[in-house]
Amino acid sequence: MDLAIIAGGKGTRLGLKDTPKPMVEVGGKPLLEHQVNLAKRYAIKNIYMLSGHLSEVIVDYFGDGKKIGVNIIHIVEKSPLGTAGAVKQLESRLDERFMVFYGDVFLDIDLKSFMDFDMKTNSIADIIVHPNDHPHDSDLVDSNDENIVTAFYSKPHDENQYYRNLVNAAVYILSPDIFEYIPQDKPSDFGKDIFPLVLQSDKVIRAYKTAEYIKDIGTIERLKKVSKDMISGKVKRFSKRYKRPAIFIDRDGTLVEEVDLLHRVEDLELLSFSASAIKKINNSAYLSFLITNQPVVARNLCDTSVIAQIHNKLETLLGREGAYLNDIYFCPHHPESGYPCENPDFKIDCNCRKPKTGMISKAVKEYNVDVESSWVIGDRTTDIQTGKNAGMKTILVRTGNAGQDRKFEVSPDYIFDNIEDSVDFILSKKQAVS
């Protein structure tokens, strides 16, 4: 598979004058060199370097790539063409699926896993998505349960809307069919122009979600953070090549205010300490997952689309505080019958309803979770039993139900007042700190 790197950024917010943005130094090397080395690690040999602003700096540094062990072909645009317009220049050169990087993104990801995902699809585009700590300043994506992209939301976002924290990571695998949607010699952008246009057709775009290290170098603060994360080893540890511990968190009464059978968006409110707790997890080696039973669907109080909207609000509120969940899993089922107007489609004895471990098992598979080093935090004995069933350590919090459901005769490993105290305890262990 060939790779196209869009390397035309100016780096205005970084204060760059004589250096194009993709050549900003990170860990003693230009950002572009890190991308080239990543491609080389996964046997990508042919790299098209699409540059514009100060292109001579890039051309002089890399040459034909032979010294690095790759083959670099330089394409210099005469005037700014945008991300899609730049790639359009390769139409006559590419007749098979190819990968795209944006040159201002630092990443260390398992490209083989992404390429394996792509091999199982018949899409016009597969794009990498992930949550981040600044969704308000990012281009966002939405997708369904089958990982089919349903919408693109370019920044700036409507402050009166709630959005899923699912960021376009600017890493794609594209079919040559994409060229049909890109105008010739006219500036256009994938996220703002081309992908939304594709969604209007019968073509499919799929989302590949990852918790690996991906950060755009858009500001001096983000550049400093990436450099710090490289030195600490955080960048490497976040790769899917390695197992990571996780903290699985209950929703109602643990992360948000307890509301009986919550089924309205307006009723969801974060507990005051929740965003701080999640942010601490984000800054650690741990992944953060929400696992929640939502029998309101089976009882027909609402459908799954409303649950999605509720979780969009949750993610938006966390994002405003610079925090994010790596993923959200919910069970819409309830095995018991007899409720008025119940939805029979969801009246099943599933494997995902807590205390069963289906939601946890799915996260373990999708994110390569280290089970033995992971935790479950919740306010009910159901949560504690779930953790025990999964072979994880458990914490009961005194918020919400505070263990008064008494459904299971089970004791937590620890008890704390709230989720933040619980997270502080977990992260106080030396091996947990990133």
Active site residue 250: yes
Q: Of 2, 118, 252, 383, which is the active-site residue? A: 252
Instruction: Single out the residue of 129, 134, 131 nearest to residue 321, CA to CA.
Output: 134
- Record the tokens describing residue 330, joined without a space: 């919910």
Q: Of 216, 229, 250, 327, which is the active-site residue? A: 250
Active site residue 421: no
Neighbouring residues of 387: CB distance < 8 A, sequence distance ≥ 6: 248, 375, 376, 378, 393, 394, 412
Q: Which residues are catalytic?
A: 250, 252
